[in-house]
Structure 1
Amino acid sequence: MLKKVKALLIGDAMIPGKSFEGAYEKYLKRFIDQVKVGDWESDWGKLQNRRLEVEKKGPEIEEIDPLIKAEGKDASVLMGLFLPVSSKVFEAMPNLHIVGVSRAGLENVNVEEATKKGILVFNVKGRNAEAVSDYAVGMLLSECRNIARAFHSIKGGKWRKEFSNSSWVPELKGKNVGIVGFGYIGRLVAKKLSGFETNTMVYDPFVDAEVIKKAGAVPVDKETLFRESDFITLHARLSEETKNLVGEKELSLMKPTAYLINTARAGLVEEKALLNALKEKKIAGAGLDVFWTEPIPEGSNFLKLDNVTLSTHIAGTTKEALSRSPELLMEDIEKLLKNEETRFVVNPEVLQDERFKKWLDGVRKC
């Protein structure tokens, strides 16, 4: 067999390189005859800290992975999960044509620079949508029904029956649920909550109103959603436009019996505003799986509150979400190489770049 393409598969503690190699064997072996496999960060604790710093500050803060330094010069494809893909990586890989990350977020990839260099970028939208949507519904129920607090009291030798919301502990039937962000996850949350017979409202200025209506929800503006919802669950992407999307103004619109659930990104919410709203009981409670600093600091005021449910950024972590994401990524790259329609191309303008077209035609002819 003639040599076609060399790929670097660089996993981490969450999805090891060996998992990427297994997906390669299934989908891309026909096109890629040489692979080098490694792990960017194999220590779980260190991975959490490093990836969060990259998400805040971008991939340029990290040095080039050793495997890229050693093997990247003649590689055409680079795939990973949280691996930082910076301009320094592009300089070290002059023959790079495809970058793929098996996650929805792109904070660890310099997409702008990739596009300039004619490098096609793939991500995997919705890879953990089932997991996060399940968890959001679970967090909603846990917070409003005091599930975690009751468990904690039993573990502490008490039989607690009184809670901060005891006079209005709600059922879901007939309640207004507001969903902020109607992508893969938001749509699944709406579908799953429909079984509880809730009334669903959606705020997402980037989604056509007819799409929202077709899903059985009502499109509304942000103020209406915050004013009328009994539960608000956040599923928007974090960007400069959505940073602090929920601040003092939005929280002041909420009912004193309403709950805010965030399994998306901490930066969507203004931290001090939420803390004050909870302390002063301007809202009934909150369920948070994401934090402005992770792990949550020991002295955090959120730990002193009795009307918040906290978890350790695990909403998207299920066996299925992790194991299938490299396969979803490589299946889509395979479609490109087979001249079939793809789902996950981030910068489609590169498909018209002459440098990329020349390389792609050569691979397809092999």
Structure 2
Amino acid sequence: MNTLKTACVAWDAEEIPEWVPPQIEAAGVKFEALQCQTASEALLFARNADIIWVMGGSNLITREIIPQLDSCGAIIRSGSGTDNIPVDLATEYGIIVANTPDATTVPVAEHTIGLLLSVVRRIPIHDRLVRQGEWNDSKSTPRFLLQGSTVGLIGFGRIARCVADRLAPFGVKLILVYDPFVDAEAIVKGNVKNVDLPQLLSESDFISIHTPLLEETHHLISEVEISQMKSTCVVINTSRGSVVDNKALANALREGRVWGAGLDVLESEPPDEDDLLLQLDNVVLTSHIGARHEGHLDGFWQLSVETIIDLSRGKWPVSYVNPGVKPRWKLTER
């Protein structure tokens, strides 16, 4: 493969680490970067790039500019979710859409467990009570234990599998999985049971959502699905806000049709001031921080650089989200 050009058009950091450009260029790849503000600016800057790099959740790569990226063979989206990239259209044009989910797997899995415990043990409520001068061990008593429970995981990719591993020591009775794309080996290795969505909804004590936001997963959990849950169910979402119909969930929580929820992601971020979810004591909310920890960006940078180097050497990236793509380049398996 000839010398490639990589254009970084956006990054969720104050600056690009000093080590990034020389490491890319040492692999024989030309590197340029510009913090673009609009899709048209990104197109002008990266039109002749072989690899376009979006470090974070920027929406610069639109459906309008994909057909004009004549030289582009790959788009790298640092992080896990690729809902800010028109993957279907990129696939149509032979453009690989790579991501770096390994950078977020452990922190999001740990945050998922943290939200679950916070809701089940009612930790935020009791924290507020103590701070208000009320020391009362009989008010808002925790109702459930993870031990002996049935947990449902919607989606069984890297993060969900990491969650399942961390649930096992709590002594959960059964982990149900709904994922139409999961292979049998992953089910056996994960010691989980693959079921359809209605069974998972009706049998789970706790439900945790780990599916990407796609056209077919938008409002995957809506009023119909919520009506199939136990009234004692706890819902955790650390994937994308719009996978869940937030209004339907808020109404169910207010009316007691769902017992509690822990949400790191919302349909509107930040939420509107009058959002019902903000008014409910049986909801624990965090501001899309699941993947964050001190130094969390280091993993994004490193894995993205490694992806660029792999592509420059004619190798398929470690992770990409459009396996059906017919790439513009000839690539070898890893």
Indicate whether the TM-score tops 0.5. yes
Matches within 5 A, 1:71-110: 71-81=45-55, 82-83=57-58, 84-90=60-66, 94-110=70-86
Kept in 2, the 8 Å contact 1:10–1:17? The answer is no
What residue identity is the alignment partner of 1:18?
A: I
Kept in 2, the 8 Å contact 1:17–1:38? The answer is no
Task: Describe the superposition over 1:308-341 as per-residue Cα deviations: whole angstroms up to 9, x where unpaired.
Answer: 1111111122234421112112212322322445
The answer for unaligned runs of 5 or more in structure 2 is: none
Matches within 5 A, 1:137-286: 137-164=113-140, 166=141, 169-198=143-172, 199-286=174-261
- Residues 337/158 of structure 1: CA separation in 2 closer, same or farther (3 Å cut): same
Q: Tell me the CA shift for residue 189 of structure 1.
A: 0.3
Q: Does 1:30 align with 2:5?
A: no
C-alpha distance in structure 2 between counterparts of 1:116 and 1:173, whole Å: 47
C-alpha distance in structure 1 between counterparts of 2:326 and 2:224, whole Å: 43
Partner of 1:47: none
Q: Tell me the CA shift for residue 223 of structure 1.
A: 1.9
> How many positions carry a matched residue from both structures?
328
C-alpha distance in structure 1 between counterparts of 2:52 and 2:145, whole Å: 48
- Residues 345/17 of structure 1: CA separation in 2 closer, same or farther (3 Å cut): farther
Q: Tell me the CA shift for residue 254 of structure 1.
A: 2.4
SS of aligned partner of 1:294: coil
- Residues 96/273 of structure 1: CA separation in 2 closer, same or farther (3 Å cut): closer
Kindly indicate which of the two structures has a greater share of residues assigned to helix. 1
C-alpha distance in structure 1 between counterparts of 2:276 and 2:321, whole Å: 39
Q: Tell me the CA shift for residue 135 of structure 1.
A: 0.3
The worse-fitting range, judged by mean Cα deviation, of 316-325 and 338-347 is: 338-347
Q: Tell me the CA shift for residue 174 of structure 1.
A: 1.4
C-alpha distance in structure 1 between counterparts of 2:231 and 2:306, whole Å: 47
- Residues 115/233 of structure 1: CA separation in 2 closer, same or farther (3 Å cut): closer
Q: Tell me the CA shift for residue 119 of structure 1.
A: 3.5
Kept in 1, the 8 Å contact 2:259–2:282? The answer is yes
Kept in 2, the 8 Å contact 1:9–1:17? The answer is no
Q: Tell me the CA shift for residue 287 of structure 1.
A: 0.8
The worse-fitting range, judged by mean Cα deviation, of 237-246 and 283-292 is: 237-246
Kept in 2, the 8 Å contact 1:10–1:16? The answer is no
Partner of 1:328: 303
- Residues 293/328 of structure 1: CA separation in 2 closer, same or farther (3 Å cut): same
The answer for unaligned runs of 5 or more in structure 1 is: 42-61, 362-366
Partner of 1:131: 107
The worse-fitting range, judged by mean Cα deviation, of 99-108 and 190-199 is: 99-108
Q: Tell me the CA shift for residue 178 of structure 1.
A: 1.0
SS of aligned partner of 1:319: coil
C-alpha distance in structure 2 between counterparts of 1:172 and 1:331, whole Å: 39
Q: Tell me the CA shift for residue 65 of structure 1.
A: 3.1
Task: Describe the superposition over 1:146-175 as per-residue Cα deviations: whole angstroms up to 9, x where unpaired.
Answer: 1111112233343354555x2x62222111
Q: Tell me the CA shift for residue 211 of structure 1.
A: 2.0
Q: Tell me the CA shift for residue 145 of structure 1.
A: 0.4
Kept in 2, the 8 Å contact 1:16–1:39? The answer is no
Q: TM-score if structure 1 supplies the norm length?
A: 0.79
Partner of 1:310: 285
Please provide the CA RMSD for this pair: 2.7
C-alpha distance in structure 1 between counterparts of 2:224 and 2:322, whole Å: 35
